Structure 1
Amino acid sequence: MKYTFLKDNNLPAFLGDDFEISYSSMYANVLEFSKRVPKERAHVAIYAENSPEWVCALYGAWLKHSTVVPVDATLPVAETAFILSDSETDFLFASKANLENAKAAVEKSGRAVEICVIEEVEKPLMNATLPNGWKIECEAEDLAFIVYTSGTTSNPKGVMLTFDNLQANIEAVSDEGYFHEKMRTLAMLPFQHILPLVGTVVGVLYVGGAIVFPKSLAPADIAGVLAKRKATMVISVPRFYELIHANIMEKVNKSIAVKSLFLLSKFAGSVKFARMLFASIHKRFGGKVSAWVCGGAALNREVNADLSALGFKICEGYGMTEAAPIIAFPRIGNIKIGSCGQPLPSNEVRIVDGEITVRGRSITKGYYRRPEENEASFNNGWLYTGDLGYFDDDGFLFITGRRKEIIVLPNGKKLNPIELEEQIKEKCPQLEEVGVLMYDDILQAVCRISDKMYAELGKEGAEDFVRENAILPYNRVNASYRRIIRFTVTTKEFPRTRIGKLKRFQLASFVESVKTELPIEQVFAPEPESKIYKDLKEFLAMQVSVTVLPDAHMEMDLGLDSLGKVALHGFIKENYNIDMQESDFEKYSSLRKVANFIEEEQKKKTEEKAVADSPKPRKPKAVAWSEILKNCTPPIIPKTYFFHAITLFAARIFFKFWYDIEIEGRENIKDGEPMIVAPNHQSLCDGFFFAKMFPRKKLYKFYFFAKMRAMMSSKFMKFYVRHSNIIVVDVKSNIKESVQKLAEILRKKNYVVMFPEGTRTRDGNVAEFKPMFAILAKEMGVRVVPMVISGAFEGLKARTSLPARGTKIKIKLLPPVSVEEGESYADFSNRVREIVIAEKAKIEGRELSSD
């Protein structure tokens, strides 16, 4: 069977800011490029930047029934040489900018490869005309591409893709209306990747559409060519959409009116309605883009939801080079945020032990000259993707993680962590182990050294050693996207299987555990002998749960939170009459630095007074929270406005029709008794659940404590907070005032709702409880009502904006508990947390784990 990949067409094929090339002229250029290919069925590499010439070189090779090997134009000589050798390249099209590297790569490859500079190929007139009936036909089973992609070894591997693999993809998206003769697609992503190869080049020209080339990837050039050439489709990676989101939302949040329209559009949930509301924004992009395609990595769900509310229809598919590239994609008008859509019609997709497996027309025939890897990746025709996922009841595929070890960066680039680890270890052989992972959206490394080295160097010395001898030398010789941004040093052994394989999927939790391990005392960094330092250390030891070292970062290493900083501030003010603000702790980040700062300030004061007037030594005073909470000017408590009632009414209606909520234990909130409610934090909706739990009059007595500094940058949110029962804490400045407001609320026999975890759970488990609620309970003499929320995490996970309808949620208010005599803030906080964990496990019908 033959497929026609380029037909006779009088429409434009290439469009740029200052050029327009028809299909007829393109074919005339293709003929010239074809003449340069020395033989039929050659392996032809293209080592150049995106351009019309790149495309002409591709079709010129296909006209000679040759296989094309796309090579990243930014690859260094060594990697390029490997690809040329491994793919058995016969001929190379290179750009003028890459010519010297191309020559060096050919020499290093050891192959006799002829090089042709694409800019030097003779160009027929741009208005060239040819007889009707010309076309490029290809046999279905012939090899179209060998595309190199990262593998499980240190070297890349070539994926063999046939013309039938490409045809399966093109037919599917064309049948669903994505590809059509009038389409104009922006050429943004480098053509050596399979997604732009099919989505921007081959598929577009197959249906008779046009490729739009920007002058550069600068935002102004992209916006300019989109507006001028009226592109209908943009294919890019998450980073591009994150930049669009950040730029637009910054302007949206500056205006109450625009913010209100945004919230209205989000509530309406209609992309067409959103495009009408925000027509001016879309006009900046030409106003004709009907499909914004995101590939290479998962797009942040919150970004996706916000862009949808702005009228951007983001189409997130799922695929890989081995599938040419589509495994699943969303159908027009049937998109679920967070899902990558439904499988390609010509393929079968199944989940085996949580892993996505696929077979069908679009799947590669294998890796070029890799029999062992073919055997490892394929089983009875099924490709084992290494990705974890599930299907919902409607047949939509959701990706939950990766079983493979490849790290996918936000810009779509893929990294083999084994390769990076080996490079770091090579720079610093003293390291026992190295693990590289993507965590908190940045590339990180965890490095293990021996107990002996850690004992000799101390914590800071060990970090300095690893930084200077491993991380910095590695970063200096690697591209920016491969550089390690943060690292952790430990003496703990990495999690491994019984046969010694690294459990890479556990590295993130391992890093978290390392942060809380007790650091070894420093040998060559002795503690100061000053009384000020010793008093500060004794006080600080009561605020944190790890060993206090003089040079440990108080926030990053010791875990000192904002409340602890307030307490330390009060201690310093009370004992040394020095008013250190919370922001000062960023400058004086270790206990040694704080002690030195206090000593310098006292020295200045001493110089201004006579020695006889200097203060006599005295025993340091502890911070009395009772003084902070009780002996202060009564703060102004927010009034309950009608706007608050509207919010509660809307929440009540929403939950009635959207969630299946079961509530138990309302009687534990006693009328006329001030109480603190301490729930676990599972979702964005947790605070609004109270609208479903109590009548309106009683709800007016509930006040919510929240960290909302980022949201307070919006005028709309400032208005919302001022007219609602919300006490907002700014961890940089007003935490003491906020705590005093909570105390005043309790004095007036109201209820305070505090989420002790401080932030939503990432994995559904109950995190550590911060002691602020315990301090209030103990000093104000009020009882705490533990509260369990179960099921909301599954209904509305962190970083998502659209809850899953019909999710079953169980909310249970437990009997109130009081602080026992002699019980510390931390002990009471832990006791309440254990109560919540135990009840949550009981509700979910599982046994409580030992930890």
Structure 2
Amino acid sequence: MLRGSILHIKDFKKAALIYRGREISYAETISLVNRFASCYRLNEGDRTAVFAENRPEWIYAYLSVWRNGGISVPIDYLAPADEVSYILNDCRPSVVFCSHKTKEVLTEAVNSLKGDYRPEILIFEELSLPENAPDKIVAEPDKHETATIIYTSGTTGSPKGVMLTHDNIMANIEDVVDHTKIFTADDRLLAILPFHHIFPLMGTIMATLYCGATLVILEKISSEEILGALKQYGITIIIGVPRLYRLFHKGMIDKINASPAAKVLLKISRALKQPALGRLIFKKAQQAFGGHIKYFISGGAKLDERVGGDLYAMGFEVLEGFGMTEAAPMITFTKPGQVRIGSPGTPTSQTEVRIEDGEILARGRNIMKGYYNKPEDTAAILKDGWLHTGDQGYLDKKNRLFITGRKKEIIVLSSGKNINPEEIENRILSLSPLIKEIGVYPREEKLGAVIHPDFLAVKKQQVVNLRETIKWLVLDKFNLTVPGYKKIHHFTLVNDELPKTRLGKLKRFLLPQMDARTAETHRLRPDPDTQEYRALKTYLEKALDQKVYPDQHLEYDLGLDSLGKIELDLFLEKNYGIKLEDQESVAHHTVEALSLLMAEQKKTGPAETSDWHSTLQEKAEFTMPQSRFMQCTMKLATAPLFKLYFHLQGQGQQNLPPGPFILAPNHQSFLDGIFLSILLPNRILKDTFFLAAGKHIKTPINRFYANHSNLLVMDINRDLKSTLQQAAAAIRQGKNLAIFPEGARSRDGHLSEFKKTFAILSRELQVPVVPVAISGAYASVPIGRKLPKPGKVSLKFLPAIYPGQMDYDQITSQTRQAIAENI
């Protein structure tokens, strides 16, 4: 290739490409480019589009356009017909290359074009190439003439055609080959990303052919194919997006986490920040990638710092860059040996960078001419030669760039608060492997989120109630650590991946539509005309008090919680003779799918109602605590201190009826159980037990305490049915139970929704409920505070509520109302 041009490929006397196991030499590549060019003619400045999957013919076709004096236009081979039609209408190419795989979509797009315009279509598999063609070009273009028009993927709307000149392209190539020498003739690269995008186009094709390296093209992209090619061909450089490296990282970190020794070694390696040591320690990880990797090159989006840090600690040098199509694409890049986790490096040798009002601006040889046919959009982003990137960041003393957010994606609430959604998303992703993707967006002046769970992790961890688990163990955990305006107030679980560009950038503007469409799409599905579906729909609509549609997910869409699932299981068992295992419940997760299972496995004709009474009469195997001396010791030790520190007072102990009964307090702090124990008379306390989740009683000390106190350890979240049966057995033994109906501590001091678990026990066993109103505890021990503040805490034992013939909802409602009126 000539300096200042990309029109001439040099014959390096070696393999330029490898495809389907066959080596294609530089000489053959040059010949094929010329032969492709001889198949069509262009006038100067005519456009030619390439619409096909990654394959050698894509490269021949793309480079042949410049031989004919034209402008190349790559199109995403997965683009739908309407998007292809939009691009064709916008730039009007004279010729379009395609393959058999893309022919059908292209035909549909061409048929929808406006007016008389119709491009010539050349299909790779049907081309008749001459045996030889001259190695020449129509005319040497000026280096400032447009070489290619690349349509942006559009994270905020319709794509725009970015006009890049021959000099724009050479600016970045010279930087990575001649200036920093990242690419050399000895390298072998693996083509993973689609060629149509500027990042792989420049890094995978242009820089490779310019320096004399070899490019391996995969026919199929899968983890097996990638790992096989890395080993078979001795790949030295991988060009990928953060999503790819996140997958690499997950595979390795899962194995490391399974070994305590490996976890310690990774921690040490991270602290030392010596990649050579990491390569030695994690030699097996290196060998898994073929053992020849020099660099992982990352671009297209910001690399997660945890991923980058762990890969670096394992000896992989991740060279992260920052840029955009409009900069061809690099603006900053990490030089070898200068990795700084969290930074995409320093400006390229061809680029100036400055920060203006927090926004990153760039200018240099690599900056585009403008948007094709869009002068207003061009003027908005190019001002006095400076490209306004729309990204926010800062430069440190070593001129390294740090990205803090995307200007267009910053959420601005009416309160004036600015929120970087990516920061929130990364924090939440780091909290749990149950979330595969999350997108945060503004919703009614608060933050909402669309979440795509990692179903493999859900299955591995045997999560029964996914929505409740994510709500309390992930989102609530996050919300406790951030100010109010950053809290997630609403979330939707979805089965499909979130909308993204081809390089993995989130299309945030589609999230509200995705949330709304989830509900709207359900309404379009007709109801199946079967007796089982009608019976199931009637049951669910009555139980949940909402409309039900066939493709709704029982948990994600209908919000069926643990108790609701048990009642559904009882309905199926009593009316259809079906007993569902947990795995079956996961497999048949929509209303329609469950109705099909009902039709397939039913053993009896439909009856009328499910029966909690008989369920609670079933024998439950569990052991009562051996003794309760720890309970007495705890009360003696804490009562004087708590009464003094919290001015603890109790009222209404005379309302406590003869046992057994259920205490139903509101939940304001982690000390509520102790407050309750101190204020209960000893004669009642000795027969009163508190339900405790098994996940909190794991250590030997905790187990010893539980076995010698008034705690009943049960697997409340994983097996609520057994929990209720065990609780019923304790009541039948004459024991009182303390159950917090809210299920979790109040997040703001106000009453939350009451779950009806306690009401089921009360109604079916005919034992009274004593509402307990706790006041002042939240002010002394607000959520997130470890050390209590002095204050005034009071507990009121309210008149007992006798179930009689009331239903569960009535008992629940009366209990909540009584407490609400007394706090």
Alignment correspondent of 1:285: 289
Q: How does 1:577-656 map to 2 (within 5 A)?
A: 633-634=623-624
The 1:365–1:580 alpha-carbon spacing in structure 2 relative to 1, beyond 3 Å, is closer
* Aligned match of 2:172: 169
Structure 1: gaps (5+ residues): 410-436, 444-483, 489-503, 517-523, 525-532, 542-546, 607-616, 625-630, 638-666, 671-675, 680-703, 709-719, 742-753, 791-809, 831-851
1:16 aligns with 2:23: no
Partner Cα distance (1:561, 1:100) in 2: 46
User: Quick one: structure 1 residues 332 and 10, their matched pair in 2 at CA, closer, same or farther if it must change by over 3 Å?
Assistant: closer
- 1:814 maps to which residue? 789
Aligned-pair identity in percent equals 30
Q: Determine the structure 2 residue equivalent to 1:144.
A: 147
Q: Does 2:129 match 1:121?
A: yes
1:78-157 to 2 correspondences below 5 Å: 79-95=83-99, 108=113, 110-111=117-118, 113=120, 115=122, 117=124, 120-122=128-130, 139-151=142-154, 156-157=159-160
CA displacement, residues 40-60 of structure 1 (integer Å, 9 cap, x when unaligned)? 634342423333333233333
Rounded to whole Å, the distance in 2 between the matches of 1:80 and 1:231 is: 34
Alpha carbons of structure 1 residues 120 and 105: separation in structure 2 relative to 1, 3 Å:
farther
Q: Of the candidates 394, 397, 405, which is equivalent to residue 400 of structure 1?
A: 405
- SS for the counterpart of 1:292 is strand
Shift of 1:633: 2.9
Q: Say which is worse superposed, 320-329 or 561-570, in terms of deviation.
A: 561-570
Q: Distance in 1 between matches of 2:509 and 2:97?
A: 44
Report the Cα distance in structure 2 between the residues aligned to 1:355 and 1:706, rounded to whole angstroms: 50
Shift of 1:148: 1.8
1:38 equivalent in structure 2: 41
User: What is the CA–CA distance in structure 2 between the aligned matches of 1:303 and 1:826, rounded to whole Å?
Assistant: 49
Name the CA shift for 1:383/1:211 in 2 (closer, same or farther; >3 Å): same
Match of 2:485 in 1: none
Code of the aligned partner of 1:191: F
The code of the aligned residue for 2:321 comes to: G
Distance 1:120 1:353 in 2: 57
Structure 1 pair 511–769 and aligned structure 2 pair: CA distance change class (3 A)? farther
**C-alpha RMSD of the superposition:** 6.8
2:146 corresponds to which letter in structure 1? Answer: L
Whole-angstrom CA distance in 1 between matches of 2:569 and 2:782: 34
Does the C-alpha gap of structure 1 residues 91 and 486 become closer, same or farther in structure 2, counting only changes over 3 Å?
A: closer
Q: How far does residue 162 in structure 1 lie from its aligned partner after superposition?
A: 1.0
Aligned pairs (5 A) from 1:385-464: 385-387=389-391, 395-401=400-406, 403=408, 439-441=450-452
Could you give the per-residue CA deviations for residues 686-707 of structure 1, whole angstroms, max 9, x where no partner exists?
Answer: xxxxxxxxxxxxxxxxxx9897
Of the three residues 346, 361, 366, the one matched with 2:365 is 361
TM-score between both structures, scaled by the size of structure 2: 0.55
3-state DSSP of counterpart to 1:110 = coil
d(CA) in 2 for partners of 1:20, 1:105 = 35
Q: Which range moves more in the overlay, 62-71 or 93-102?
A: 93-102
Q: Secondary structure at the match of 1:167?
A: helix
| CA distance in structure 2 between the aligned counterparts of 1:828 and 1:513, rounded to whole angstroms | 35
Q: Measured at CA, do residues 190 and 769 of structure 1 come closer, stay the same or move farther in structure 2, by a change above 3 Å?
A: same
Q: CA deviation at 1:195?
A: 0.8
Residues 485 and 755 (structure 1 numbering): CA distance in 2 closer, same or farther, change over 3 Å?
closer
Give yes or no for contact 1:238–1:299 (8 Å, CA) kept in 2.
yes
Which residue does the alignment assign to 1:191? 195
Match of 1:544 in 2: none
Letter paired with 2:26: Y
Partner of 1:3: 4
Q: Which amino acid aligns with 1:233?
A: I
Q: Which whole-Å CA distance do the structure 2 matches of 1:326 and 1:257 have between them?
A: 40
Aligned to 1:274: 278
Question: What's 2:233 paired with?
Answer: 229
What is the SS of the residue equivalent to 2:4?
A: strand
1:207 & 1:487 partners in 2: Cα distance? 38
Q: 1:475-525 CA deviation, whole Å, 9 max, x = no partner?
A: xxxxxxxxx95799xxxxxxxxxxxxxxx9798689999999xxxxxxx9x
Is residue 2:215 matched to residue 1:211? yes
TM-score, normalised relative to structure 1: 0.53
Change (3 A) 1:151 1:780: closer
Shift of residue 313, structure 1, vs aligned partner? 3.7
Answer with 1 or 2: which has the greater Rg.
2
Quote how far apart the aligned CAs of 1:93 are.
4.0
Structure 1 residues 514 and 205: CA distance shift in structure 2, 3 A:
closer
Q: Tell me the alpha carbon deviations over residues 613-667 of structure 1, each in whole angstroms, 9 at most, x when there is no partner.
A: xxxx9x999x99xxxxxx9734699xxxxxxxxxxxxxxxxxxxxxxxxxxxxx9
Q: What letter matches 1:731 in structure 2?
A: N
Q: 1:373 to 1:265 in 2, by over 3 A?
A: same
Q: Which residue does the alignment assign to 1:663?
A: none
Partner of 1:731: 717
Contact 2:47–2:70, Cα closer than 8 Å, also in 1:
yes
Question: Where does structure 2 lack aligned partners over 5 or more consecutive residues?
Answer: 412-420, 423-447, 455-493, 499-506, 520-526, 528-535, 628-643, 648-666, 671-691, 704-712, 728-741, 759-769, 800-810, 818-823
Q: Deviations over 1:400-455 (max 9, x none)?
A: 3462699x99xxxxxxxxxxxxxxxxxxxxxxxxxxx9832499xxxxxxxxxxxx
CA distance in 1, matches of 2:123, 2:612: 80
Residue of structure 1 equivalent to 2:163 = 160
How many residue pairs get aligned? The number is 611
SS at match of 1:3: coil
Identify the range of structure 1 (139-148 vs 174-183) with the bigger mean alpha-carbon deviation: 174-183
Cα 1:176–1:228 shift into 2, 3 Å: same
Sort the Cα spacing of 1:117 and 1:440 in 2 relative to 1 into closer, same or farther, 3 A. Answer: same
SS at match of 2:163: strand
Measured after TM superposition, the shift of residue 85 of structure 1 is 4.2
- How far residue 366 of structure 1 moved from its aligned partner, in angstroms, is 0.8
Structure 1 203/364 Cα, relative in aligned 2: closer, same or farther at 3 Å? Answer: same
